[in-house]
Chain A
């Protein structure tokens, strides 16, 4: 059974840092692009970042570029998101997901975790 389980969400003060993890079971992530998507309270889904299979290519939404870092450990079948310089507007549930890529083109998110809540507040 495919499972993605996020962890690491917490209440953090503005300017603080967090590291989110996504532990995957049921398949090897080494064959897949992976990504993070967030859902802020009262807002819609927002793509955050993607990373290709060996971690050499990473892409970010403009609002988090330079503050967030996506990474992966294929040996541990895990995905990570380092969140630095957090702002109130980063408050959201963060989901990890597999990214389906066809002929070099990113298509859609296939399997999703249940999410982990990040709250940025003083």
Chain B
């Protein structure tokens, strides 16, 4: 089954830009979706189809996907952005959904 890899943690100071990567073989050929999850809460979709934002998600959240790496970028990071972030793709050969291992974003 397809495998996607995320760094376990990313740290950034408030007001700076956080970049969270999601690596996979030719992931640029997949649609990548991103969620954040805070402790005790359900996951929330923040970017879908590589770079689209659901309604209600701030413009500070953006995504890109090319080659072997997809990236979630959060500009002007706030304390409230601290959460676990997960990328997700769908493997059309197996019909399986695949999540990355998650990245803990820490706001210093």
Contact = CB atoms under 8 A, between A and B. Distances in A.
Do A and B interact?
Answer: yes
Interface of A: 35, 37, 39, 44-47, 50, 59, 61-62, 95, 100, 105-110, 112-115
A45 B37 contact: yes
B108 interface: no
A107 B33 contact: yes
A59 B102 contact: no
B106 interface: no
Contacts, number: 62
Interface residues of B, number: 26
Interface stretch (B18-26, B41-49, B64-72, B75-83): B41-49
29 contacts: A37-B43, A37-B99, A39-B37, A44-B86, A44-B99, A44-B100, A44-B102, A45-B43, A45-B88, A45-B102, A47-B88, A47-B98, A47-B99, A59-B94, A59-B95, A61-B96, A105-B31, A105-B90, A106-B90, A106-B95, A107-B33, A107-B48, A108-B88, A109-B43, A112-B42, A112-B43, A112-B44, A113-B42, A115-B42
Taking chain A's interface residues, is the majority helix, strand, or loop, or is none over half, making it mixed?
strand
B48 A59 contact: no
Given A47-B98, A107-B33, 16 more contacts: A35-B97, A44-B86, A44-B100, A44-B101, A44-B102, A45-B35, A45-B43, A105-B31, A105-B92, A107-B31, A107-B90, A108-B48, A108-B49, A109-B35, A112-B44, A113-B42
